[in-house]
Amino acid sequence: MSRPLAIAAAQMGPVVRAETRAQVVERLLLMLRDAADRGAELVVFPELALTSFFPRWELSGDALLTFFERDMPSADTKPLFDEAKRLGVGFHLGYAELTPDGHRYNTAILVERDGRVVAKYRKVHLPGHEEPEAWRPFQHLERKYFEPGPESFRVQRAFGGLVGIAICNDRRWPEAYRVLGLQGVEVVCIGYNTPIHYAPDPGQDRLAAFHNNLVMAAGAYQNATWVVGVAKGGVEEGVEGLSDSQIIGPSGEVVARSATTSDEVVVAVCDLDLCLDYKRTVFDFDRYRRPEMYTRITSQRGAVAPGDADR
Ligand code: ING
């Protein structure tokens, strides 16, 4: 048996600060049509796809809120919803959300081929720092501008399978994939904006692409799921962001990868039944996992506590 789902990674190049929502949506529409022409049924756009990655700047008041969406779809984004529905293509879109009661989240939605929003996820793992730090060449103020998502990772039945969402830094935490994996996830959509320079430890810069693949391939294999990692990358307002978008199978193999740092659509036909080959063998969670053993270490007498290692 096979359950093919044609998925497009719709990678974005830089979005400059002055770019309007309408201008960005025009770019998304071009990629949506290209993906549809190439048979894609699900198009995955990046994290915070509608604007420049504004947590790199110290902002407040209206200068900050201008980067947030109050409505989804809004007048500016409705053309994307309309065209996707006309084409019979679904999509994942990341954006900065301002709720009616004033909460701010780093959010992503999943829209089915009939235009329905079938999932909304708010980023759980917020990286960076809480207040501006002058020593940094650029800021990473997600922890100041967004609240952590109040709900955990959930799987949604959609596109003929089980689909989950994680956002950017979430992809570095194995728990994100495992919470979805325990729900049987078959496709994880992950948008990201990843500065290559990591100010707290610049020695990690050279490994940005290696770590990007490492965490997504591990998450895919260890949870027997497809992972679609999609960048907004390139040199955006003077900061170089990692591109390297990729579609990874439950084997951990990269089946499609971007080749540029610009707007680029990469399509792969993903057989969702390939997940079952792994879920029914190596990663038969019910048969092989030992959850009761995973918490015992904290109660074992003489257990090594964090920090003991260097005593
Ligand atoms: N960006 C980065 C990410 O997790 C980061 C932040 C970069 C953390 C490099 C650690 C190392 O890919 C976002 N937006 O989470």
pLDDT in tens, 232-285: 999 999 999 999 999 999 999 999 999 999 999 999 999 999 999 999 999 999
Give phi and psi for 99, each to the nearest 5. -80, 160
Structural Rg of the chain based on CA atoms: 19
CATH hierarchy code of domain 4-299? 3.60.110.10
pLDDT digits (tens, 9 = 90+) for 122-171: 999 999 999 999 999 999 999 999 999 999 999 999 999 999 999 999 99
- pLDDT category, 303, cuts 50, 70, 90? low
Per-residue pLDDT at 301 exceeds 90:
no
Per-residue pLDDT at 20 exceeds 70:
yes
Q: Which is catalytic among the residues 168, 189, 270, 275? A: 168
- Residues facing 52 on adjacent strands: none
Q: Cα separations (Å) of 175 from 51, 77, 209, 229?
A: 28, 32, 21, 17
- CA 133 remoteness from chain centre: 26
The total of other beta-carbon atoms located within 10 Å of residue 204's CB is 14
C-alpha 204 to ligand 1 mean position (Å): 11
Both structure tokens of 92: 């994942």
User: CB of 193 closer than 6 A to ligand 1?
Assistant: yes
Between CA 170 and CA 195 the distance in angstroms is: 15
Average the pLDDT over 74-88 and give the result. Answer: 98
Going by C-alpha positions, the residue among 50, 57, 61 that lies closest to residue 107 is: 50
User: CB of 168 closer than 6 A to ligand 1?
Assistant: yes
Under 8 Å CB-to-CB from 36, ≥6 apart: which residues?
43, 87, 88, 89
Per-residue pLDDT at 300 exceeds 90:
no
Ramachandran assignment for 184, one of left (phi > 0), alpha (psi -120 to 50 degrees), beta (any other) = left
Q: Which is catalytic among the residues 47, 69, 186, 236? A: 47
8 A C-beta contact, residue 97 and residue 43: no
Both structure tokens of 50: 């509608």
Q: Give the global pTM.
A: 0.96
Between CA 104 and CA 44 the distance in angstroms is: 22
Tell me which residue has its CA closest to atom 12 in ligand 1.
Answer: 194
236 assigned to active site: no
Q: Is the peptide bond before 195 cis (omega within 30 degrees of 0)?
A: no
Handedness of CA 125, 274, 155, 162 (dihedral sign): positive
How would you write the chain as a 3-class SS string? CCCEEEEEEEEECCCCCCCCHHHHHHHHHHHHHHHHHCCCCEEECCCCCCCCCHHHCCCCHHHHHCCCECCCCCCCCHHHHHHHHHHCCEEEEEEEEECCCCCEEEEEEEECCCCCEEEEEECCCCCCCCCCCCCCCCCCCHHHHCCCCCCCCCEEEECCEEEEEEEHHHHHCHHHHHHHHCCCCCEEEEEECCECCCCCCHHHHHHHHHHHHHHHHHHHHHCCCEEEEEEECEEECCEEECCCCEEECCCCCEEEECCCCCCEEEEEEEECHHHHHHHCCCCCHHHHCCHHHCCHHHCCCCCCCCCHHHC
User: CB of 226 closer than 6 A to ligand 1?
Assistant: no
User: CB of 172 closer than 6 A to ligand 1?
Assistant: yes
Both structure tokens of 235: 């040199």
- Residues facing 157 on adjacent strands: 162
Per-residue pLDDT at 306 exceeds 80:
no
123 assigned to active site: yes
Q: Which is catalytic among the residues 123, 144, 232, 279? A: 123
Percent of the chain predicted with pLDDT > 90: 95
Under 8 Å CB-to-CB from 240, ≥6 apart: which residues?
195, 196, 197, 234
Per-residue pLDDT at 195 exceeds 90:
yes
Going by C-alpha positions, the residue among 175, 173, 164, 265 that lies closest to residue 214 is: 173
pLDDT for 308: 74
User: CB of 166 closer than 6 A to ligand 1?
Assistant: no
Domain ranges of the chain: 4-299
Per-residue pLDDT at 305 exceeds 80:
no
168 assigned to active site: yes
